[in-house]
Amino acid sequence: MKFFLLLALVFVAVWLFRGSRRRDLPGAPPPTPGTPKADGQAARESVVACLHCGLHLPQSEATSGEAGWFCGDAHRLAHDRVQPR
Ligand SMILES: [Zn+2]
């Protein structure tokens, strides 16, 4: 009889242990301080429009001219040719 009691105790201990382990494995990991910051920076990057062709692109990929933003050097030079200073 003591053997069955010990066996039941072991089963309960294993069941509780596995239950607590399952709670430690969530479907979505909790947000770490670094992850939202990186996502926020990518989402917050401003979009500019090329003054020559109107193409919208991230500001980090745009070329800045005296008049504003351009999609590339070719359009910056073309815009300067159309509207010389
Ligand atoms: Zn352009």
According to the model, what pLDDT value does residue 33 have?
54
* Residue 70 Cα to ligand 1 middle (Å): 5
DSSP 54-79: --EEEGGGSEE-SSSEESSHHHHHHH
In the chain, helix, strand, coil percent, each to 5? Answer: 55, 10, 35
Cα 73 to middle of ligand 1, angstroms: 9
Please give the model's pTM, rounded to 2 decimal places.
0.47
pLDDT of residue 58: 96
Segment-wise mean pLDDT, segments of 10 residues, the chain, 85 residues: 83 84 64 54 82 96 94 94 75
Please report the pLDDT score of residue 34 as a whole number.
54
The protein residues having their C-beta less than 5 angstroms from ligand 1 (an ion) are 50, 52-53, 55, 71, 75
Q: Tokens 């990518």 identify what position?
A: 42
How remote is the CA of residue 19 from the centroid of ligand 1, in Å?
Answer: 59
Give, for 34, the enclosing helix (H) or strand (E): helix 34-44
